A = this chain, B = another copy of it.
Amino acid sequence: MPKLSPEASRLLKKRIHAIIFEAETKEGKLFDVALVIVILLSVLTAIFESMYADGGFQTLFYSLEWFFTVVFLAEYILRIYSIERPSKYVLSFYGIIDLVSCLPTLLSVLIPGAQSLIVIRALRLLRIFRIFKLANYFSESMVLYDALMAARVKITVFLFSILIIVTLSGTAMHVVEGAENGFTNIPTSMYWAIVTLTTVGYGDLSPKTDLGRFLASVIMIMGYAIIAVPTGIITSELTRSKYQNISNQACPGCGSQGHGQDAAFCKNCGASLKTPKPPESN
């Protein structure tokens, strides 16, 4: 690499940063689109490799995977090069995902036949989320994210209660049905309880005794009633975020209420609403 003057280096860094990390400029957008395509192609390659592993395409898949690895590696190095504080990026969630995206092929040299590296290759898909985050028109996804975050504690309490119900149901079914009907131990029975409560119902394990079927019926109807809970949580959060933006401020002119958060004038009498509002807590 030829030595650059500090000024030229600074400008180059800034330019690369704008292209790689931002999505405002035309080049930035082009880079994002190209990256999404390369990511999707690399995952498609992994998928096809799993389908035609025995065919004569081994060399093709191998070459493609090396090509993607070089591309991701080059991108990773450019990201570190162009950013102000590389350490912060390297240790961030997406920094780790970016590094991991380059590893499978490199590791496959060291550990031959490591089939499980295919999972790491699929992890590249997570990188697409960052690109969508940059593209502002996907701001709708934030509403979903906010609703999920707001309901975080409730969902945790809910999942925890589910876990206790699953343990109790699983233990009871292990005792009632026993190993001869496939409920060989408590973890297996807990797996059955999860399959049942979530209404998936594979049927690989199913109660055979009368008491077991009765117990399963109770668990199913319970599951039917509590499936409503997470839905209720998310829905009420999503609904709340819609209603909340009605301010409680009364018009100083006519005393009317129900103005939007962004209202500067009273909707009834047209008087100015510019009394200072206290900062909202939520």
Contacts and interface: CB of A to CB of B under 8 A. Distances in A.
A118 B164 CA distance: 15
Interface string A129-157: 10010000010110110011000011101
B234 A51 contact: no
A271 interface: yes
A194 B174 CA distance: 21
B175 A115 contact: yes
Contact of A227 (B147, B213, B227, B255): B227
Main secondary structure of the interface of A (DSSP, over half): helix
Q: How many copies does the complex hold?
A: 4
Q: How large is the interface on A (under 10, 10 to 19, 20 to 34, 35 or more residues)?
A: 35 or more
Given A228-B235, A239-B239, A239-B240, 4 more contacts: A125-B167, A187-B213, A198-B224, A236-B242
Interface of A: 43, 46-47, 50-51, 53, 115-116, 118-119, 121-123, 125-126, 128-129, 132, 138, 140-141, 143-144, 147-148, 153-155, 157-159, 162, 164, 167-168, 171-172, 174-175, 185-188, 190-191, 194-204, 206, 210, 213-214, 216-217, 220-221, 223-225, 227-240, 242-244, 248, 250, 254-260, 262-272
